[in-house]
Amino acid sequence: MFHPLRVARVDRLTDDAVALTLTVPPALREEFRFIPGQHLTFRHRAADGTELRRNYSVCTPADAPAGPSELTVGVRHITGGTFSAHVVKEVAPGDTLDVMPPTGRFTLAPRPGHFAAVTGGSGITPVLSMAATLLATEPEARFTLLRADRSAASTMFLEEVADLKDRHPGRLQLVHALSREEQQAGLGSGRLDAARITALLPALLPVGTVAGWYLCGPLGLIDATRQALRDLGVDRERVHTELFHADDAPAAPAPAAETATDATVTATLDGRSGSWPVQPGETLLETVLRNRADAPYACKGGVCGTCRAHLVRGEVHMDRNFALEPEELEAGYVLACQSHPLTGQVELDFDA
Ligand code: FES
């Protein structure tokens, strides 16, 4: 699952963010092949011994058919973030980090059409890979990027996006909204809210013909853009989202009286099954992890979707869900890190 990868470079992007480039040895290139938009899960042991996992999106293009020789992720130091502080302040070329091969369903495989993204802050990272891969490999594709940042100085991958625009001047349209700087005409100032996005998008592009919308960033921007796209009549199936930061996502815990006491969870993982009692208050992921250290997870916050499993039997309550689409819920998928049993028997299939 996890592989030790060597750090090739650490390039400073802003005061609080770096681009971290890892070398992928030839034997692992096939396994580390990715679709633009996917992320890597890093494993790190904090000073107090607890194991941390964090997801970071690959920002480099997926342009090597045999798999990448290098992978770059953008890491911003967030307040209180143990792993991001470690990467931004301590990690150096030659160090080794434990990394899981790319996963994630927030993806854009190149195809003809007009695609658009709205990003905030570090939400640019997966979208940079999407746009770069799409424009380099699909001559019939166009991309519109509306990115929101506080200031030019705090903007990650400012030059990389400008270079991409220079390489594809007619096919990449870029609008940069800076909330703390004076704006160019038409953009107004301050945060992008639903009303401003609803007014802005039709002026930028033919909204109804966009084949796919990719929203990535903090919850406020994602909610505002979703609202704007709804108001503009865009089909929900064309809108793909990835939330960054679990902290600002609201939760709806199940009333304790409704969760089943003495419940048992049966889980299938890598073809092997087991059944274990669920301790009061714990999530199904916690139950499975106590018995199977290889259970998949990263954020434990209902945001990344790494712990997705198919609910084969029983019922669960999810405290929050910012990862699964309505179709996945309908098909019976749940987030194990957010699930509590509502029935005495619950069965999860992590391989489905
Ligand atoms: S581990 Fe991220 S959603 Fe469950």
What does the alpha-carbon distance between residue 137 and residue 101 come to, in Å, rounded to a whole number?
A: 23
| CATH 3.10.20.30 boundaries in the chain | 256-349
Using a 6 Å CB cutoff, which residues line ligand 1? 297-307, 323, 335, 337
Residue 322 CA to ligand 1 centre (angstroms): 9
**Nearest Cα residue to atom 3 of ligand 1:** 302
Q: What is the pLDDT along the chain (352 residues), one digit of tens a residue?
A: 899 999 999 999 999 999 999 999 999 999 999 999 999 999 998 888 888 899 999 999 998 889 999 999 999 998 878 889 999 999 999 999 999 999 999 999 999 999 999 999 999 999 999 999 999 999 999 999 999 999 999 999 999 999 999 999 999 999 999 887 766 555 666 678 999 999 999 999 999 999 999 999 999 999 999 999 999 999 999 999 999 865 555 667 766 667 888 999 999 999 999 999 999 999 999 999 999 999 999 989 999 999 999 999 999 999 999 999 888 999 999 999 999 999 999 999 999 9
285 CA to middle of ligand 1, Å? 9
Kindly state the tokens that stand for 307.
Answer: 């712990």
Q: How far is the CA of 164 from the centre of ligand 1 (A)?
A: 32
Q: What is the rounded distance in angstroms from the CA atom of residue 230 to the CA atom of residue 207?
A: 11
Neighbours of 204 (CB within 10 A): 14
Show the CA angle centred on residue 115, arms to residues 329 and 59, nearest 5°. 80
Atom of ligand 1 nearest to the CA of 337: 4
**Delimiting residues of CATH 2.40.30.10 domain(s) in the chain:** 3-103
Q: Could you tell me the CA-to-CA distances from 325 to 124, 139, 250 in Å, in that order? A: 21, 30, 17
Looking at residue 183, what is its pLDDT?
60
Instruction: List, by residue range, all CATH 3.40.50.80 domains of the chain.
Output: 113-243
CA angle 306, 307, 313 (to 5 degrees): 145
How far is it, in rounded angstroms, from Cα 72 to Cα 80?
23
User: What is the C-alpha separation between 275 and 264, in angstroms, rounded?
Assistant: 7
Q: Tell me yes or no: is domain 3-103 CATH 2.40.30.10.
A: yes
For domain 256-349, which architecture applies? Roll (3.10)
Taking the C-alpha atoms of residue 338 and residue 212, their distance in angstroms, rounded to an integer, is: 28
- Name every residue whose Cβ is closer than 8 Å to that of residue 127 and which is 6 or more positions away in sequence: 37, 117, 119, 145, 214, 216
Say what the pLDDT of residue 246 is.
58
Q: How far, in Å, from the CA of 337 to the mean position of ligand 1?
A: 6
Q: Does domain 113-243 have CATH number 3.40.50.80?
A: yes
Name the region of 55 (left: φ>0; alpha: ψ -120 to 50; beta: rest): beta
Question: Could you tell me the two tokens for 47?
Answer: 């000073």
* DSSP state letters, 72-113: EEEEE--TT-HHHHHHHHT--TT-EEEEEEEE-S------SE
